[in-house]
Amino acid sequence: MQINKFDIAKIRAEFPILKRQVHNKPLIYFDNGATVQKPQIVIDRINKYYTEENANIHRGVHHLSQEATSAYETARKTIQDYLGAQHEHEIIFTKGTTDGINLVAYSFGELLNAGDEIIISAMEHHSNIVPWQMLCERKNCTLRIIPMDTNGELDLAVYEQLLSEKTKLVAVTHISNALGTINDVEHIIEKAHQFGAKVLIDGAQAIQHIPVDVQTLDCDFYAFSGHKIFGPTGVGVLYGKSEILNKMPPYQGGGDMIKEVTLHKTTYNELPHKFEAGTPNIVGGIALGTAFEFLQTLDMEGLEKHEHDLLAYATDALKNMEGITIYGQAKNKTSVISFLVDGTHPYDVGTLLDKMGIAVRTGHHCTQPIMDFFGIPGTIRASFACYNNKEEIDIFVKALHRIIPLLKH
């Protein structure tokens, strides 16, 4: 049963943390780009596992183990269906987006040779920069960068010029965590495939905001974190096409990723277990499946419209304030506003907002190259989710009107 997309009160009622106060003020949570809050159904599912089902999975013949295994693998199937993946075994459980990207950088990276090229963009999170730098150092490959303009949009004409027969992988973010830009990943994927290159999409900031169908996108890898999509921390998913995953060597060795082990030789397990060494975050995987079930009740079309309305409302309000500069003004963006207040430090603004019960993020947001491009130390970032409303934005704007004069004297 879907929650009425315009009944924000019902949606908010699903999130118990929104009832609490911070510094004797009602919590206004605008740090959703870092992590989103959890609905009661996810919290209850975590509690149910530890109170009724706690056991290791895949190995046990006893009832609890089989129950836990069934719940874990049902979650994998739920996520497969949501993403539109062709096969269940293409869904690899990871620790999160960073872990998924590192898996590809190490494992797919073993298939690369000296002189091969990897393309990333100038707006990537550090997690989609550093693993490729490490790979290029390890394998003597070359890293190419897609530039961006002052609106926070990628220069796709330059991207097409960067592509060549040497290009083996393109790794780009679906949505920028610092700017909110929604990149034209369909175009990026299509052009890369013309040169036989594989494409990894960092979906950490997209999965909770827009529909994602990996077969429609035709991406080769898609990585995201559970805690960005109403699930727990410490769990995520890497989607990969079967034919590519089968060619890649295991990322880690240990239990569950093996078929047979002797003291002299090991043969590896089938997908997805080949990439899931050791006891996984069982409850994380199960609860992530529940988070996707919750997301499906929200109606993505209604969610997109609601968040777009919040973005437009907040943007208009900030543009009408003197001395505020907004960074990231792409034509196609999601509900993230990064800004600075003239004559103030973002940390100071964030600290005073916190005293008023308003949670925002300040700093470089793990995107130092973006900050270097704009010549700034960092920004104040307000990022909205399905449970935020315009009344909260009004309080946020009024708080800024109070704070700014204090910091300028």
pLDDT value of residue 406: 86
CATH fold of 8-30+299-403: Aspartate Aminotransferase, domain 1 (3.90.1150)
Q: What is the pLDDT of residues 165-179, one digit of tens each?
A: 999 999 999 999 999
Question: Do β-strands 258-261 and 236-240 pair in parallel, antiparallel, or remain unpaired?
Answer: unpaired
Domain with CATH 3.40.640.10 in the chain: 43-296
Region class of 114: left (phi > 0), else alpha (psi between -120 and 50), else beta:
beta
Mean local confidence (pLDDT), 306-310: 95
Alpha-carbon distances, residue 306 vs 16, 68, 76, 179, 202 (angstroms): 21, 36, 29, 19, 24
Q: What is the pLDDT of residues 23-79, one digit of tens each?
A: 999 999 999 999 999 999 999 999 999 999 999 998 778 999 999 999 999 999 999
Integer Cα distance of 297 and 270 in angstroms = 33
What is the model's pTM? 0.96
Integer Cα distance of 3 and 20 in angstroms = 23
Catalytic residue among 136, 141, 219, 366: 366
Q: What is the pLDDT of residues 248-258, one digit of tens each?
A: 999 988 877 77
Domain with CATH 3.90.1150.10 in the chain: 8-30+299-403
Mean pLDDT for the chain? 94
Mean local confidence (pLDDT), 238-264: 88
Burial 366-395 (b: 16+ CB within 10 A, else e): bbebbbebbeeebbbbbbbbbbbbeebbeb
pLDDT at 1 over 60: no
Closest CA to 383 of 22, 10, 28: 28
pLDDT at 242 over 60: yes
Pick the CATH number of 43-296 from 3.40.50.2300, 3.40.640.10, 2.70.98.10, 2.60.40.10: 3.40.640.10
Q: What is the pLDDT of residues 196-205, one digit of tens each?
A: 999 999 999 9
Q: What is the pLDDT of residues 96-135, one digit of tens each?
A: 999 999 999 999 999 999 999 999 999 999 999 999 999 9
pLDDT value of residue 258: 72
pLDDT at 301 over 90: no
Consecutive H or E run containing 172: strand 167-173
Integer Cα distance of 144 and 163 in angstroms = 9
Q: What is the pLDDT of residues 326-383, one digit of tens each?
A: 999 999 999 999 999 999 999 999 999 999 999 999 999 999 999 999 999 999 999 9
Is-catalytic flag, 366? yes
CB 303 within 8 A of CB 386: yes
pLDDT range class, residue 264, cuts 50, 70, 90: confident
CB 165 within 8 A of CB 196: yes
Task: Find tokens 């043969």 and name the residue.
Answer: 267
